Amino acid sequence: MTVDTDKETLGFQAEVKQLLDLMIHSLYSNKEIFLRELISNASDAIDRLRFAMLSDESLGENNTDFTIHVTYDKTARTITVADNGIGMSRSDVIENIGTIAKSGTREFFQSLTGDQKKDANLIGQFGVGFYSSFVVAERVTLVTRRAGFGAEHGVRWESDGQGSYTLENVDKPTRGTEVILHLREGEDELLDGHRLRSIIRKYSDHISVPIMMEVEEKDEEDQERTGFEQVNRASALWTRSKNDISEEDYKEFYKHIAHDFDDPLTYVHSRMEGNYEYTLLLYVPTRAPFDMWNRDRRYGVKLYVRRVFIMDDAEQLMPAYLRFIRGVIDSNDLPLNVSREILQHNRIIETMKSNATKKVLSMLSDLAKDAEKYQTFWKTFGRVLKEGLAEDEKNRETIASLLRFATTVTESEQQSVSLDEYIERMKEGQEKIYYITADNYAAAKDSPLLEIFRKKGIEVLLLSDQIDYLFGMELTEYKGKELQSISRGEVDLSKMADEAEKEEQKKQESEAQGLIERLKKALGEQVKEVRVTSRLTTSPACLVVDEYDIDPGFQRILKAAGQSVPTTKRILEINPTHPLILKLNGESEEKRFADWAFVLYDQSLLSLGEQLENPTAFVNRLNDLLTHL
Ligand code: ADP
Ligand code: MG
């Protein structure tokens, strides 16, 4: 006997205990899902064996009648789920069952509040899988043997979920995994064939492997059992015709493949016939996975070839900006021995990806017809979808049509206005789609740059996500309408101004020439230009950037990313009728004039929601001026 076969007791990773406690509380009202989770794992294990057999047929051990068996024992008070899938080695068991290997675990535990009710809601997002057994079981035994290993390499794992588990080597002639639940007191109602069958049909009908249960004689007296019968339909869900699939089937299948406890938000199921034949069944989750912003997070689409599972997370099948999509693509044309390398530059894959992308975008367009559901989607995945403007030029206009914005018309932080809606509301003579970008919603909404637009009743999109600094660079026009940032270049609303206004503007410009020259001199290198504004009605001054200069917000992002970029000089625009500007004009002492000029510059910067380079200098100048008023 080697050390390896000795029985040993190991401690769970700290999080496992915490997770189990939380789960037992939160899942109790829906406790029968333990069976769904165990069957889901069994089905995954069979999928993985099928795939491994493509390169090593001997792993089948002359037993390729793949099945999942569910049995129960009233006397021992146990329920057993057994599969003849790939099984686990001793180290697999430690890694997969003793630790939570999922990415995002840390984030999950950090997001816990300690309030059991709130935390219970979070657990579904995490997907608890195997551990849900402990909701109904006080002790769980798992006996497994990895395909291709000798019978003596069986492993027996056991735990009461209280912080540790035991592990020992056992003989297991048959390949695969058996999970035995020793039920808690009071759970005997689960020891019933009808009950178990109905749970399986409800949650696991879509599983493509036959799930077998013993036939029970109707005669209650002698309970004789005469062999096994199949409980589920056992055909790959996506191969069935749509009419033959219920809403529930679709939802349960989603939970199985996405390892999610929530229903999906929407889905698309489509058989493609043309140069290549393939079927896709793709879902939008309701909630974001914890690791959505993790750069190397895995993608959620599984690749099958002629019903055989090939790989998880086939990132070649979805563009990065749709990385939240979950589901299955099953190809009839790819070779079964396809590898990740082959997928890189494969024409079939590229066609499938391009069509799948279009399908997803049109599914989202459909979803948008339901404003409330679409808000759920947008809040969760909108920022990811926006990445598509840069990533997917071919579908840019469609992606743009799916974007939603806060605007000056809705006066709400909620992003709910589409570009199409904006265009419908455009004023007579308005040619462009106007937007403003700021670091946060409040700064965008209260920006003085909006004054003239508010006065004229022109709607402006209020952008305040980090990624929005790229917006105007990627999307320069939509449906023939140019997009224009109101913080750059000159505003030309001349088509919408009346003659009197234009006259007035000209007059102001010529009258202010002297003042403008003095300001230029005082501010020197600080500004690119000083000019009379046509955008302000109530503020004294504002700062904008020249038409082709880099947006300062975007510059900050580049800097934060470690790139060296020259600082953009801004243009100071003044409102010559404002009392402060009039007062400034009358200031004859040059030092005080210069102080005023800098204060004006700095406060314009502040009203953009930005930080001053030298706040102390600003405060000192201001205090000086206030003292001498
Ligand atoms: P998930 O299924 O989301 O990965 P689970 O908690 O359900 O999470 O399972 C954890 C891991 O344990 C699985 O990823 C798998 O590696 C392993 N596992 C569980 N059940 C089985 C099984 N029946 N056969 C082989 N491996 C299994
Ligand atoms: Mg699982």
Q: What is the pLDDT of residue 120?
A: 62
Inside any domain, residue 374: no
Residue 285 binned pLDDT confidence (cut-offs 50, 70, 90): very high
Same domain, 194 and 287: no
Is there a contact between 257 and 327 (Cβ–Cβ < 8 Å)? yes
How far does residue 130's CA lie from ligand 1's centre (Å)?
A: 6
- State mean pLDDT over 416-435: 94
Is a pLDDT exceeding 90 seen at residue 292?
Answer: no
Number of structural domains, the chain? 3
User: Do 248 and 140 fall within a single domain?
Assistant: no
Last residue of a domain, one of 211, 234, 257: 234
Domain boundary among 212, 234, 256: 234
Residue 615 sits in a domain whose CATH number is 1.20.120.790
Q: Which of 367, 400, 415 is the last residue of a domain?
A: 367
Count the neighbouring beta carbons within 10 Å of the beta carbon of residue 246. 11
- DSSP at 468: G
First-to-last CA distance in the chain? 95
Q: Which residues contact 282 (CB under 8 A, 6 or more apart)?
A: 267, 268, 269, 301, 325, 326, 327, 328, 329, 356, 359, 360, 363
Instruction: Give the mean pLDDT of 228-239.
Output: 92
**Are 509 and 589 part of one and the same domain?**
yes
Report the pLDDT value the prediction gives residue 159, as an integer from 0 to 100.
94
DSSP 196-265: HHHHHHHHHTT-SS-EEEEEE-S-TTT--EEEEEE-S--S-GGGS-GGG--HHHHHHHHHHHHT-SSPPS
Confidence (pLDDT) at 1:
40
Q: Ligand 1 atom 13: the closest Cα is on which residue? A: 96
pLDDT classification of 297: cutoffs 50, 70, 90 = low
Query: What is the extent of the structural domain holding 345?
Result: 238-367
Atom 21 in ligand 1: residue holding the nearest Cα:
41
Please tell me whether residues 13 and 53 are part of one structural domain: yes
Query: Has residue 375 been placed in a domain?
Result: no
The predicted model gives 371-383 an average pLDDT of 95
Which protein residue has the closest C-alpha to ligand 1 atom 15? 96
Find out whether 314 and 328 touch, Cβ atoms under 8 Å: no
Going by alpha carbons, the residue nearest to atom 16 of ligand 1 is 96
Ligand 1, atom nearest to 179 Cα: 23
Q: Does 559 reside within a domain?
A: yes
Domain with 307 in it: what CATH number? 3.30.230.80
Mean pLDDT, rounded, for 527-550: 90
Residue 103 has pLDDT above 70, yes or no: no
pTM, 2 dp: 0.80
User: Would you say residue 311 lies in a domain?
Assistant: yes
- Could you tell me the two tokens for 205? 């009908």
**Which ligand lies nearest to the CA atom of residue 23 in the structure?**
1
Average pLDDT value for residue range 428-453:
92
Q: Is 169 helix (H, G, I), strand (E, B) or coil?
A: strand
Helix, coil or strand: residue 471: helix
Cα torsion angle, 126, 131, 132, 134, sign: negative
Cα(233)–Cα(36) distance, integer angstroms: 15
Q: Ligand 1 pocket: which of 19, 27, 41 to mutate (most atoms <8 Å of CB)?
A: 41
Q: What is the pLDDT of residues 546-595, one digit of tens each?
A: 988 888 878 887 888 888 888 889 999 999 999 999 999 998 999 999 99
pLDDT at residue 365 above 80? yes
- DSSP one-letter code for 534: S
Residues in contact with ligand 1 by the CB-under-6-Å rule are 37, 41-42, 45, 83, 85-88, 96-97, 127, 129-130, 177, 259
> What is the Å distance from ligand 1's center to 43 Cα?
10
CA 34 to centroid of ligand 2, rounded, Å:
10
Single-letter amino acid code for the residue at 521: K
Alpha-carbon gap, residue 489 to 512, rounded angstroms: 20
Is pLDDT of 88 > 60? Answer: yes
Nearest CA to ligand 1 atom 17: 96
Q: Which atom of ligand 1 is nearest to the CA of 83?
A: 23
Q: Note the pLDDT tens digit of each residue in 11-69.
A: 887 777 777 877 777 777 778 889 998 999 999 999 999 989 988 999 999 999 999 99
Inform me whether the pLDDT recorded for 458 exceeds 70. Answer: yes
Q: Does the pLDDT value for residue 295 go beyond 60?
A: no
pLDDT at 22: 78
Say if residue 220's pLDDT is above 60: no
Inform me whether the pLDDT recorded for 2 exceeds 50: no
Distance between CA atoms of 176 and 194, rounded to whole angstroms?
26
